[in-house]
């Protein structure tokens, strides 16, 4: 059994590692290009229970919308729990792995900023992403969740040691949009694993 440990140097490091074997295959690369074409992705995700984010953004009232982002259980600085409502109210809880201390942050975003963040999440393609099982396991990755709610419909997209997506880049584009709220909160929360270990 081959075990590989990768020390990460950027926000996309653990994604790149988990997909490097696929990228080595030219046929896979061709199939991946076709699968990422917007009409194909829309068709493949047609049976997913997707919040109507596009429709919500076309209205003046975003009070029924919300996003949530969390990362926990990974080999890193600690756990992250972020929530933002369509009214602009934001809450962030950071729990340190080393000291077990908890820090709480709150902010209220302008309507323009709320729409900016939600629009970036819509444009990321995360709502069209298809869940997939990993070929092996990614140890120390922890669990990443992004939840999008519109009205009574919520979709939670997860990346963890056994689960990934057909289009992981969409997840990290949405994550990057969420992390920009750190400016208003006065706290950076782009916490991620120090390292990951992959096993077959």
**pLDDT tens digits for 104-157?**
999 999 999 999 999 999 999 999 999 999 988 999 999 999 999 999 999 999
Residue 21 pLDDT greater than 50, yes or no: no
Backbone angles phi, psi at 199, to 5 degrees: -130, 150
Q: How confident is the prediction for the chain on average, in pLDDT? A: 84
Summarize pLDDT for 154-167 with one digit per residue, the tens: 999 999 999 999 98
Residue 28 pLDDT greater than 90, yes or no: no
What does the pLDDT read at residue 196? 85
- Which one, of 99, 80, 101, 100, lies nearest residue 91 by Cα? 80
Q: How many domains does the chain have?
A: 1
What does the pLDDT read at residue 129? 92
What is the chain's length?
200
pLDDT band at 200 (very low <50, low <70, confident <90, very high): confident
C-alpha 129/C-alpha 36 separation (Å) is 10
What does the pLDDT read at residue 198? 86
Residues of the domain holding 9:
4-199
What does the pLDDT read at residue 38? 55
Determine contact, residues 153/97, Cβ cutoff 8 Å: no
pLDDT band at 48 (very low <50, low <70, confident <90, very high): low
Summarize pLDDT for 49-84 with one digit per residue, the tens: 788 899 999 999 999 999 999 999 999 999 999 999
What does the pLDDT read at residue 164? 94
What does the pLDDT read at residue 193? 94
Could you tell me whether strands 153-159 and 89-96 are parallel, antiparallel, or unpaired per DSSP bridges?
Answer: unpaired
- The pTM of this model reads 0.79
C-alpha 115/C-alpha 70 separation (Å) is 21
Residue 33 pLDDT greater than 80, yes or no: no
Here the CATH number for the domain that contains residue 116 is 3.30.1560.10
């Amino acid at each position: 059994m081959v075990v590989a440990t990768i020390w990460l140097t950027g926000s996309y490091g653990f994604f790149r590692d988990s997909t490097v074997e696929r990228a080595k295959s030219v046929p896979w690369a061709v199939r991946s290009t076709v699968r990422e074409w917007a009409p194909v992705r829309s068709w493949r995700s047609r049976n997913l229970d997707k919040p109507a984010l596009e429709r919500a953004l076309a209205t003046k009232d975003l009070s029924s919308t919300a996003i949530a982002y969390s990362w926990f259980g990974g080999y890193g600085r600690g756990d992250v729990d972020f929530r933002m409502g369509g009214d602009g109210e934001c809450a962030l809880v950071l729990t340190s792995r080393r000291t077990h201390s908890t820090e709480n942050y709150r902010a209220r975003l302008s309507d323009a900023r709320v729409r900016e963040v939600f629009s970036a999440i819509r444009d990321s393609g995360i709502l069209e992403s298809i869940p997939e099982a990993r070929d092996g396991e990614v140890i120390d990755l922890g669990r990443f969740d992004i939840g999008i709610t519109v009205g009574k419909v919520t979709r939670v997209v997860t990346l963890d040691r056994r689960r990934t997506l057909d289009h992981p880049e969409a997840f990290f584009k949405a994550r990057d949009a969420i992390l920009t709220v750190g400016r208003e909160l006065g706290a950076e929360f782009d916490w991620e694993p120090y390292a990951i270990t992959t096993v077959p």
